[in-house]
Chains A and B, each alone.
Chain A
Amino acid sequence: MYKRLPRVRRRWQLGLGAAAALLAAAGLQFFDANPATSQSLFLTAYSAGSDPGLDPADGVWKNAVPVQVPLTAQAGTYAAGGGSIPTVSAKALHYQGKLYVRVEWADTTKDESTTKVENFSDAVAVEFPAKSAASVPALCMGQADAGVNIWQWRADSQAGIKDPVDVYAGALVDMYPTKDTLFYTARAAGNPYANPDQGPVQTLVSQTFGTLTIANVQDVRGQGAWNNGNWAVVFTRSYAGADPSQAAFADGATTDMAFAVWNGSEGDRNGRKSVSAFVRLTISGTDLGAGGGDNTLAIALAVALLGGTVVIGAGLAISGYREKAAR
C-alpha cells in the first residue's frame, strides 16, 4: 500500500522539487515573511488606571498578572548541586504613553555595595530588540546582527557611588589635597559608570554587532527594593525611543523581551549572569481588570491538561503496542 505514497521516479523530478524548495525559501527570506509564530511565554501590558510610579510596592501592580519566566541556572546554584528552576516574575503596565515593567526575583543576599574590591553588585536587565521583531519570533535576539536595547538596573548604582571615607565611619585620612572631579579619573574621562549622578538605570545599545555601548540619551527610569529575600525592580520609559537604536513601543504592538539577572555574591558581572527564555510583550489597549481572585479555572485547566496528556500519550502507546501484537 506504500506504493501509493508520492514518489520520486526520475532525477529531474528530484531536481525540480529541490529547486522549488530552495526558491521558496529565498522568497520567504527576501520578503521577510516568516510563517512561524512565537509560542514562548507572553506578557500583556494593560492600561493602568493610575500612574504606577517607580515604587515596586505600588498598589496598581497587585492587579497585573505576572508571567513566570525560567532563567538559566547560576554558576553557584549548579556548583552547589542544583535546585529548582530559578525564575523571574514579570509584570507590565502602561500609563499615558509610558511602558512600565516590573521584575521580581529571589535573591537571599542583598549585594548593593561595591566599595570592597571583592564585592560585586546585584543587577537586573530587560532586553528588547531595537526593531520590534515579532516577525522573527525568538530568533532575533542575541543574534549579533540585530541591534539590542538593554535597560540595566544596578543595586550599587541605586545605593550611590561613595568614597570609602564615607562608607567607613572610623577611617583615618591625613588629608586630601583636593577633591576636585578632575582627580576622579574615570569620572573626569566621562565614563558614565563612574558618574554618581547617573541614577540606577542605564540604557545600553548594540548596533549590528560588536560591543555594547551606553546610549547617548539616558531616558529610562527605575527603582528597586529588596524585601525578605526578593528584589523587585520597576523600569519605565516613554513609548518612543530616543533614536532608532532603541526599542520603540506603541499601543497594540508586540515585541520580544528577555531578562538577565546578576547575583553579586556569586561574583556575577559582565557575561556571568542568568538569562531568561524569551517573552513576548503585547501592549494592550484594554484597561487593567480587577485581576487576581479566582483560580479554580486555572487549577481545572492544569488538571485537564496534565490528565489529558497522560491519557493520550499512554493510551496511544498501548494501543500501538496492541496493533503491533495483533499482526
Chain B
Amino acid sequence: MAAIPRQSQPGAFDASALRYVVGGLTLAALVELFVLRTFTRTAIHIPALEELAGPYTLLAGLGRYAYYLSVVLLIAALPLLALALWRRRTLTGVVAAVALTAFAAIAAAAGPGAIPEHVADAGTLAAVVTLAGVAAGHQNTRGALVLLLFGAAFALSAVHTTLQAAAQGGLGTIDAHDLLFASEIGGVAFALASPLLVPGACRRRTALAAGAVALVVFGSLLGAGGPTTRILLLWNEGLSGTLPSAIYALAAGALSFTLLHLLGTRRFMTLLGFLLVLAGGVGLHNTYQSGLVVVGLAVLALSGPSLSPALAEDKSP
C-alpha cells in the first residue's frame, strides 16, 4: 500500500529522501495502529488467548517496535518537510515551515515538562490548524473543504483539552464539553466529505469494497462488540460514537472509498498524507499522534494539485 512510487520519467522528485521517509513512516504507523493500538487493546477479549502467549508477546513486541520506528521516522520527516515547505518561498510555505519547526520544539519541550501543558496544547493546536489551512489552500475548493473540516474537528476537541489543562493549571474552569459534540460532528463530516478529495468517475469495485467496509463497521457497532468498537474509535480517532451507528458506517465507507480511489488512481503521496492524518486521529492524544497529523497535513500541502508540488503526484507535470 505504501509502496514507493517509481517515477516513469527520470525527473526532479523521484529520488527525494522525503518520499522514502514518508512512505516508511506511513507503513510503520499503520502497523503500529493495527497491532499496538488496535489488536493488543482488544486481544483480552479473545478466548483461550493464554495458550497463544508466545505468538502474542511476539506480536505485541513487533507492534512496539513499529511504534518506535514510526517515532524515529517522524522525527526525520519533520525537518525534511519544513525544508521543502520553506523552499517554496511563498508566505504559506514559510508559515507552514515555521509551524512544523514550532511543533517539533514544543514536542521536545513537553517531554521534560519544560512548558506548561496548556501552552504545549495550544501550540500543537496552532500548528495543526496552520498546516490544515495551508494544505487546504493548495487543494481545489472541494479538497479544501475536506481538510478544513478535519482542522475544525481537531481544533474543537483540542480547545476542549486545552481549556481543561488551563483549568488544572489554575486559570479557572468553564464547562465546554459541548465542543466535543461539535468536534464529533466535524470529524464525521470530514470522513463523509472525504470523497470530495478524489474527483473523477467512481469505479464499481472501489464502491463495492467501500460498501463492504461500511457494513462491517455497522455490524460491529450494533453488536456487543459495539462497546469495544467504540472504545477503539475514541482511543484511536478521538470520537465518542454518540451519533447513530449508520452515520459511522457511512463515514467508514466514505473513507475507504477515498483511500481506495487514491490507490487506484496512483496518487500515492496524497494517499500517504491522508493515511497519516487518519492514524493520528482527531484531538490531542499525545505528541506522537499529533505528530502524525502534522506530518500528514504537511504532506498533503506539498502534494496538492496546486503550484510547485514538491511531492508531486506521478501524473502531475
Contact = CB atoms under 8 A, between A and B. Distances in A.
A207 B37 CA distance: 19
B256 interface: no
B1 interface: no
Contacts of B287: 35-37, 39
Nearest to B133: A316
A2 interface: yes
B276 interface: no
B311 to A, nearest CB: 9
B296 to A, nearest CB: 16
Contacts of B240: 70-73, 85-86
B228 A271 contact: yes
Given A75-B227, A82-B242, A323-B92, A2 B286 contact: no
Interface string A190-218: 00000000000000001011100000000
Contacts of B130: 312-313, 316
Given A139-B36, A144-B40, A44 B168 contact: yes
Interface string A63-86: 001111011110101110111111
Nearest to B95: A316
B288 A210 contact: no
Contact of A312 (B44, B67, B80, B126): B126
Interface residues of B, number: 114
Given A139-B37, A298-B173, A39 B284 contact: yes
Interface in A30-82: 34-44, 65-68, 70-73, 75, 77-79, 81-82
A25 interface: yes
B224 interface: yes
A8 B167 CA distance: 48
B165 A5 contact: no
Contacts of B117: 39, 42
Contacts of B69: 21-22, 25
16 contacts: A5-B83, A6-B83, A7-B15, A17-B17, A26-B68, A37-B111, A39-B287, A43-B168, A68-B175, A72-B240, A86-B240, A142-B231, A275-B231, A298-B167, A299-B174, A314-B148
Interface of B: 12-13, 15-18, 20, 24, 36-37, 40-41, 43-45, 49-50, 53, 56-57, 60, 64-65, 67-69, 71-73, 75-76, 80, 83-84, 87, 89-92, 95-96, 107, 110-111, 117, 120-122, 124-126, 129-130, 132-134, 136-138, 144, 148, 151-152, 155, 159-168, 170-178, 180-181, 184, 221, 224, 226-228, 230-231, 233-235, 238, 240-245, 284-288, 290-291, 306-308, 310
> What are the nearest 4 A-B pairs in CB distance?
A320-B137, A316-B133, A36-B288, A72-B230
Given A21-B24, A78-B245, A274-B227, 18 more contacts: A4-B87, A5-B83, A35-B75, A39-B110, A39-B120, A70-B234, A72-B227, A73-B230, A138-B235, A144-B43, A275-B227, A277-B238, A278-B285, A299-B174, A302-B159, A314-B148, A320-B136, A323-B90
